Structure 1
Amino acid sequence: MKGSDGPQATGSSARYQILARVRRPRCIFVGPGSWGRRVLRRVDRYFDVIALVSNGRFETVEWSARHYPQTPHLLDLSDALTLPFVDAVFFATPTRTHAALTCEALQAGCHVFVEKPLSLEPDGAIRAVTMAERYGLEVFVGYVYLFHPGFRFLSSVASPESIRSLRFEWVRPQLSGSLHGELLCHDLAVTIALTGELPKRVVVIDSCNRFLRCRIELPSGRLCESTMELRQDMLKRKTLTVIYEDGMTYKWHDDQVFSVDDPVVGLLNQEGEDPLSREISAFRSAIEGHRPRMVDDRRFSIGIARLLSHLEDNVGT
């Protein structure tokens, strides 16, 4: 329960462990915009959505009333947080709001799923993570590519130490945020998870308002590079080329992985559950205590925020 100085350190966690045995977890969903609606449809499979929160745009309110007629639609998170037995809050809101909204939900004793990145500056990430640790709550940052079959394949090929280099390439027609805030943060998360190393720094090689090329410097000196481009004349795509110490090379292109020795035959089998659903299932498992919590690995929250912050002043506009 929420006290004068926030929830008790273990009260919310203990309460959830008991209630989880008899009911599905209850959540608030904040930000049912274009991307948020995709997330919300998956959240609905694993959580009881007891309230939607938005900025009140007519189109969003109309959509919510049509698709979730029994779910209250509120304009203020603080009002939603007064509802009884709220276990978690999902945020699909602009990046600049992530850290502050996360802290507000944590203060109310709720676990948090927040879209990537947690913050573009370390202070906000530190506040959120420190609060979550104090209250025994989860902050799960939505790096969906960590739950993609392509990532699972590449991480199973060999040990993290066997990776020689990574090269990320992105093309997007448009983005709602910056190239580094929307795309590079994914590359940093995948780099950490595949190599086991938190990058020392990210160095801008070339940039303008529609193009960014960076070198991701690892403590081991291994080669990592990311190129991001906005091109309205091209279809969106994502490619990760991974070279291992034995010379084996794989390309993770969109939803398939290929060996450079046979660039035609895909190596991934079709799976029933999509990465976004798998990610939300992982969040529920984390708050139920069935898997490690993401908040306990600060590389994906504070570490990435520090790297993105140092990049801000060096990106061309």
Structure 2
Amino acid sequence: MKIGIAVLGAGRWGVNLIRNFIEHPNSQVLAVVDPNRDSLMAVQKQFDFNELVILATDWSQVQELPGLDAVAIATPASTHYTLAATALQKGYHVLVEKPLAINLSEAIKLCQLAEKQQRQLFVDHTYLFHPAVDRGQRIIQQHQLGKLRYGYAQRTHYEPVRHDVDALWDLAIHDIAIFNTWLQQTPIQVRATGTIFPKEEVRGKKEEGRSKTEEGINQQKGLADLVWVTLTYPDGFQALIHLCWLNPDKQRRLTVVGSLGTLIFDEMSPESPLILQQGSSNRRGEEHNVCESAIAPGLTTSIPSREILSLEQVEPLRRVCDRFLTSVQTNTPCPTSSGDASVELIRILSALSKSLELGGQPVIPF
């Protein structure tokens, strides 16, 4: 029996969810909800829905829809809590785009509500279903990088700019989730500094920039356009993350450096998103099978190699939707994307926000 789905939000990500649920043999899209009628018309044209699929401008119009089992939420982050809470209270399973909520207390309440209702709360942490993340985790667990030293990531682009959350909450959760997964640890201390760019410093022409209203909203709310994040893990590993939505150079790159090699996850790479560079530069005695450098006594080096890793060709979001449907069918949580797992990420983001408010002072997530 197919699982009846209502998708809330027909924007870029909502359209991707609709496509994947339509193509999945175990689901049936019963309704699409979006306040923008043009967006509804666009999905109607794109997917050629028959009259059985309801297109609604308000979630309340489909809450009692016969055959509805689950709700997928792809709306602005500030609306996630209210929509997800209502769906859970109505007895529906919920898939929600990251972040689960925009503050820790709301995220915890949603988890508690899902447990009370005995329904699945599944958060779309898409990158954790990416073949490159799976392969990278195996490489690190097999100690192919040697002793892990540090990591860094860049997640930047030139718009869209959100007006309900800052660049930290919009972008950082992906890289934090990947670092935590690869290291099998969570940070014990975090730091963040940020900048809000005045419009005239970012763009010269009015039509190329944000409107004065939009700029005013972000200035008033204190929504940082540029954020630098530092995560410190229990074993001393540190990760630095560069986040910006006003950067002309689009980057989606995460790197872990070890004593024997470096692992690079670069979505923008024309070759493969995952590259393993092996070769070391160590203090003598730290690792074996290397030769002493004549340039710096006591420093040993090895000839680097570069391997482009082959990966399974599968869309990560397709995996997300498949795992969500499995969770619904069995009514069991997915450890990777359960509400509880997402709460831990929001706990880290909340601590980073606190550090941002304190001008970059270290904060311990709790």
TM-score range, shorter-chain basis? Answer: 0.7 to 0.9
Residue in 1 aligned with 2:210?
none
CA pair 291-256 structure 1, distance change in 2 beyond 3 A: farther
Residue in 1 aligned with 2:11?
33
CA contact 1:282–1:291 (8 Å) conserved in 2: no
Residue identity matched to 1:293: C
Residue in 2 aligned with 1:138?
120
Pick from 192, 196, 202: which aligns with 2:184?
A: 196
What CA distance in whole angstroms lies between the structure 1 residues aligned with 2:159 and 2:246?
7
CA contact 2:103–2:350 (8 Å) conserved in 1: yes
Q: Within 5 A, what are the aligned runs for 1:95-244?
A: 95-159=77-141, 163-177=148-162, 178-208=166-196, 209-234=224-249, 236-244=250-258
CA pair 281-74 structure 1, distance change in 2 beyond 3 A: same
TM superposition score normalised by structure 2:
0.72
What CA distance in whole angstroms lies between the structure 2 residues aligned with 1:111 and 1:295?
17
Residue in 2 aligned with 1:93?
75
Residue in 2 aligned with 1:17?
none
Q: Within 5 A, what are the aligned runs for 1:215-294?
A: 215-234=230-249, 236-244=250-258, 246-254=259-267, 256-261=273-278, 265-269=307-311, 271=313, 273-289=314-330, 292-294=333-335
Residue in 1 aligned with 2:205?
none
CA contact 2:192–2:356 (8 Å) conserved in 1: yes
CA contact 1:27–1:49 (8 Å) conserved in 2: yes
**1:302: how far off?**
1.7
CA contact 2:129–2:316 (8 Å) conserved in 1: yes
**Percent of paired sites with the same residue:** 23
Residue identity matched to 1:171: T
In structure 1, list runs of 5 or more residues that go unmatched. 1-22
Deviations 1:272-295 (A, max 9, x none): x21111111111122223974248
Residue in 1 aligned with 2:40?
61
Deviations 1:92-144 (A, max 9, x none): 00001112211111111111110001012111101100011112211111111
Deviations 1:132-185 (A, max 9, x none): 111221111111111111101111113299644331111211134321122101
CA contact 1:160–1:194 (8 Å) conserved in 2: no
CA contact 1:89–1:110 (8 Å) conserved in 2: yes
Residue in 1 aligned with 2:23?
45
**1:89: how far off?**
0.4
CA pair 292-77 structure 1, distance change in 2 beyond 3 A: same
Residue in 2 aligned with 1:80?
62
Residue identity matched to 1:215: T
Give the paired residue count: 291
What CA distance in whole angstroms lies between the structure 1 residues aligned with 2:20 and 2:238?
36
CA RMSD of aligned residues (A): 2.6
Residue identity matched to 1:167: Y
Higher mean Cα deviation, 77-86 or 62-71?
62-71
**1:212: how far off?**
1.1
Deviations 1:238-290 (A, max 9, x none): 1111124x42211111151112347865212351x211111111111222239
Deviations 1:211-254 (A, max 9, x none): 211101223332122111234533x221111124x422111111
Residue 100 of structure 2 aligns to a residue whose secondary structure is coil
- 4+ long deviations beyond 6 Å: none
What CA distance in whole angstroms lies between the structure 2 residues aligned with 1:29 and 1:190?
27
What CA distance in whole angstroms lies between the structure 1 residues aligned with 2:312 and 2:158?
27
What CA distance in whole angstroms lies between the structure 2 residues aligned with 1:154 and 1:27?
33
CA contact 1:132–1:295 (8 Å) conserved in 2: no
CA contact 2:111–2:340 (8 Å) conserved in 1: no
Residue 287 of structure 1 aligns to a residue whose secondary structure is helix
Higher mean Cα deviation, 223-232 or 135-144?
223-232
What CA distance in whole angstroms lies between the structure 2 residues aligned with 1:117 and 1:296?
11
CA pair 286-54 structure 1, distance change in 2 beyond 3 A: same
In structure 2, list runs of 5 or more residues that go unmatched. 197-223, 279-303, 360-366
